[in-house]
Amino acid sequence: MLQLYREVAFSPHSPRVRFRKCWLFSECFGLLRRSDRIPFTEDLRLRRRSPCAFSAFEHCGFLVRSKQLLNYNLSGNLARELGLLSHLEIMDFMWNVISGTIPKEIGNIASLKLLLLSGNKLFGSIPDEIGNLPILNRLQIDENNISGPVPKSFANLRKIKHLHMNNNSLSGPIPRELFTLPIVHLLLDNNNLSGLLPPELWLLSKLKILQLDNNNFSGSIPASYSNMTTLVKLSLRNCNLHGTIPDLSRMSQLGYLDLSWNMLNGPVPSNLAINITTIDLSHNFLNGTIPSTFNRLQKLQRVSLENNQLVGSVPPSIWQNRTFNANDTLILDFQNNSLTDIPASYHPLNVTVVLYGNPLCSNANQLNIVPLCQPRITGQAFEDPTTSENSCPPCPVDQFYEHNPSSIRSCQCSLPLGVGYRLKSPGISDFRPYLKDFETRLTTLLKLFPYQLYIDSHTWESGPRLHMHLKIFPSNSSLFNNSEVFRIADTLASWKIQLSDVYGPYELLNFSRGPRESDSSKARLSKGALAGMLLGVIAGAASLSVMLTVIIMRKHHGYYFISRKRSSVRTQLKLNGVKCFTFEEMVLATKKFCKSTQVGQGGYGKVYKGTLDDGRSVAIKRALEGSLQGSKEFLTEIEFLSRLHHRNLVSLVGYCDEQNEQMLVYEFMCNGTLRDHLSEKQKESLSFPKRLHIALGSARGILYLHNEADPPIFHRDIKASNILLDSKFIAKVADFGLSRLAPLPDKDGSIPGYVSTVVRGTPGYLDPEYILTHKLTDKSDVYSLGVVFLELLTGMRPISHGKNIVREVRNACQSGLMFTLVDNRMGFYPSECMEKFGSLAIRCCSDETDARPSMSEVVAELERVLQMLAEDDSSQEALATDSKTVSGSSLSSESSGAEPPVCSETHSVTGSSQEALATDSKIVSGSSLSSESSGAHSVTGR
């Protein structure tokens, strides 16, 4: 934080102790003050060699009350000496590149109120000793790679209000020990938590935000949650939940409800809180009609009910009984249901209704609803950067002065403070109607005039989170004085302001004085900003704190800024929750790359099974020396995987880029690839229900890439060996080495439907139009997935002995002989379900792009087939056998009480089982390429 240790203090009663072979303490301090003339990084190296550094730390460290090094590009490990800072109240190392584990000695700092470690590369488990902090108010360890369970010792955190542990790899159930705590915000989304949702969560009487998205829970939503009368936001997206939605009518404060991407059935809840802004129940099995009671909800901004089984008509009263202001918007997404009518009525420009994929669209011309029947991707309203007209003469560029667009003084040039500010869990979908209210509340809490705050930009990010760049201008002068800078910074960094509940918790990404800095969470402080802060008496205190931090960061040798000698790969990547392993760690994990640990090999290199220090099994993909294609695909895969979060996508644990080595580290997938299980050599074949679950899981992962990844992605190499199966046979799409970003909007706002690129991929899976035109589209992935469906249907390979699977199945269907090609090893299957699955696969493999379904239509059709399968009386026995095995997939039967199979650590997955990590793609259209089927690991949530 640019506040830079304002509260480094020394006791006036401390004796002047002469340290052995050291200067007097006061002399050390004076030297640090004089060293302000030394460049900052050189100063760090000089102070590390000071003979009194450790003694000074031991004798004065306990008097430091605040260590705030937010966004300082620090690396290395946190050391146990942090526990000596016995008076510390705020520990803020957010948005650096610190690795290693959280030292258990932090639990000794009884005075600690804020522990802020977000946005680093920490790994390992949370020490139980953190539960010893009696007055801890806020724990933020989100966006790391922390694993293991949530400690039961957290029961002792009697003052905790904010638990932000999202975007990690935490596992196990939510401990019951949390339920008596005064928690206000509980953010555990994007982890690997499992078990039932605890019914006792309703006992958290002060809870306002419960965000558990993208975890591996099971069971239904407890009925006791209807007693959460203080809850403002309930987000259980993609949590593998089933059953009906409980009565939510008593949640009178609920403003945001997201239960999408589950397996919920029953009706849409009708009695919701009057102030609710967002209802997302998409991608479930909800039935019945759209509630007309939504017309009471005057603050509604978005209703997403797409991909359900809703029937009846669209009630126009939802928008007819409402008065819209200029900035108000309402999005009603009802795609892919069974709606049959929409009464003729006028709807204002503020309202967007999407009906694509409903039966009523077959009569779109007669109903005059053609614009409503076009496919669309809906979500948070797009936010334009704030713009204003400016006729003033330019300000001095070299001093970074600028005009305040909101100033009451015309054309005054001043130097603003820049603030990277993000709402972590907002309770709205469109910020524009709330912009003025936000400005008023924030300036009031910061004790500023309204015209001093200017929101330079505000954009939605995945989560969803709202990222803003704020500019704060001086009031009656061109510059802030230092005390005012520190006051504003301290107020923001110490969480002394509380906005309205609708905005949820916020986080500070950076704070700069002078030139606007990058909003990246890993941006380094500018020299101008640093110089502006190291003024007067503050310089001495700041220098001392930096020296202490040098000592803390890996006591003797582990602290360093990112070396300029590292390879270009390191400097180009901005990773989120991905660990950078050393070469030595990889050697230890694989027993010196012993042949007995090798599980695969291909054009990219070899794949090893390794064991990390924390006991996790991983697949380590090691590039061959001199691999010409490996370097580019290495960069691509890390970049993609580090920011993709979905249950059905492979997730990256980390990477190694040392000693001319390039390695990717994934979770070890003990059930290998889908191709392994379709092989005739496999003793136990996949049943039909299990194959459908794998198909749906794969489709959902690809749908996420197309529709929800930011920006969207075309995979370009979907094949059976790139679909990995975990211990519960949950499908995870792997290998992003050939992926391409989807096209961005043109200047006129239109989005091209394709990307022009050299043809790459795997023969047998390639879209014919892509081969001919070099135009890659989302339907190219649909074609490839259709081929995988045909493999699931027949057990055949895409190309074998000169026969092409698409041509063979198509000819058989035209001759009425499709069932002769069905893989007879899958056992019982209802013929109607098999016909629908086969028909879908053939449509996906249509030669013409427009004839193929979209990925959302593929998902919806597979969900319907699985629903038919579940309702088929004769298939219940087969379903019961598989329900537990595929419980994490798209739809689970609850008829079986059997435990899921556990993969043994000694389970041999042969070379082919991990060849999604290393298989060769063939020569395509004269272009030689090596596929790097990524192996075995998963990325967080959806």
Binding site as annotated, residues for ATP: 621
Contact 762, 738 (CB under 8 A): no
Angle formed at CA 201 by CA 200 and CA 203, multiple of 5 degrees: 75
> 80-87 long-range contacts, Cβ below 8 Å, gap at least 24?
80/104, 80/105, 81/57, 81/105, 81/551, 81/552, 81/555, 82/106, 82/109, 82/552, 83/107, 83/108, 83/109, 84/57, 84/58, 85/61, 85/109, 86/62, 86/110, 86/111, 87/9, 87/62, 87/63, 87/111
DSSP state of 927: B
Sign of CA dihedral 162, 168, 174, 177: negative
Question: CA–CA separation, 57 vs 124, rounded Å?
Answer: 27
Question: CA–CA separation, 738 vs 720, rounded Å?
Answer: 16
Question: CA–CA separation, 894 vs 887, rounded Å?
Answer: 9
Category of 89 on φ-ψ map: left (φ > 0), alpha (ψ -120 to 50) or beta: alpha
Contact 494, 114 (CB under 8 A): yes
CB atoms closer than 10 angstroms to residue 528: 16
User: Do you find a cis peptide bond into 474, omega within 30 degrees of 0?
Assistant: no
Contact 880, 893 (CB under 8 A): yes
Among 750, 751, 733, 734, CA closest to 742 = 751
> 488-495 long-range contacts, Cβ below 8 Å, gap at least 24?
488/417, 488/446, 488/448, 489/1, 489/2, 489/3, 490/3, 490/6, 491/445, 491/446, 492/419, 492/421, 492/446, 493/1, 493/3, 493/68, 493/70, 493/90, 493/92, 494/90, 494/114, 495/114, 495/138, 495/162
Torsion angle in degrees (nearest 10) through CA of 370, 373, 374, 375: 180
Q: How many CA atoms lie within 13 A of 339 on its CB side?
A: 29
User: Do you find a cis peptide bond into 711, omega within 30 degrees of 0?
Assistant: yes
For tokens 């930011």, the residue is 710
If residue 282 lies in a helix (H) or strand (E), which one and from where to where? none
DSSP state of 742: P
* Residues taking part in catalysis: 717
For tokens 């910020």, the residue is 431
